[in-house]
A and B are shown apart, each in its own frame.
Chain A
Amino acid sequence: DGGITQSPKYLFRKEGQNVTLSCEQNLNHDAMYWYRQDPGQGLRLIYYSQIVNDFQKGDIAEGYSVSREKKESFPLTVTSAQKNPTAFYLCASRWGQGPYEQYFGPGTRLTVT
């Protein structure tokens, strides 16, 4: 069954702790993305990766880090430097180099207190 998986679904952390969100896809998609969604707002791009071992900052990369060591995996670390980390985090992937649609994983809801 092809798709994108994210884990965990819900995550609770104390302020000051780093946390890593998992994203795996078995669609053989080249590009992968991380977005953040806050209530009543559109999705905002955190990081994206077009190929293995390469990634680019999106619009709100401060306080986040990523890696892309395998085509299938694109984990996101939310560091203690991120001022407002509580949000819904969505991972997406896309095939090819052109303007093709993105497909999303089920998301991770992170709460930091």
Chain B
Amino acid sequence: AQSVTQLDSQVPVFEEAPVELRCNYSSSVSVYLFWYVQYPNQGLQLLLKYLSGSTLVKGINGFEAEFNKSQTSFHLRKPSVHISDTAEYFCAVSPQGAQKLVFGQGTRLTINP
């Protein structure tokens, strides 16, 4: 079975500051890794994904994430956040060969002016 832990339920930051949202996973098989964003009253939107290859993955809206196999982590980063980044962010894994996504509990990112 797989599990995903997002270490921070809430992260407040000031506008234009850098941010890191942490994600660790547990799995006995190889997995694909994802970050999704959910803006208020909207569905989930894919930010980025890691399937294979380079461990540094760039996504939309200036976000990037780095896959660290030894630490089983996939932390999300952005060098300078904007008010519009206020949302809930979900880390997810999908076992290779399986179809379902296993999600973390989410991290609520709040941007203060």
Partners in one complex: no
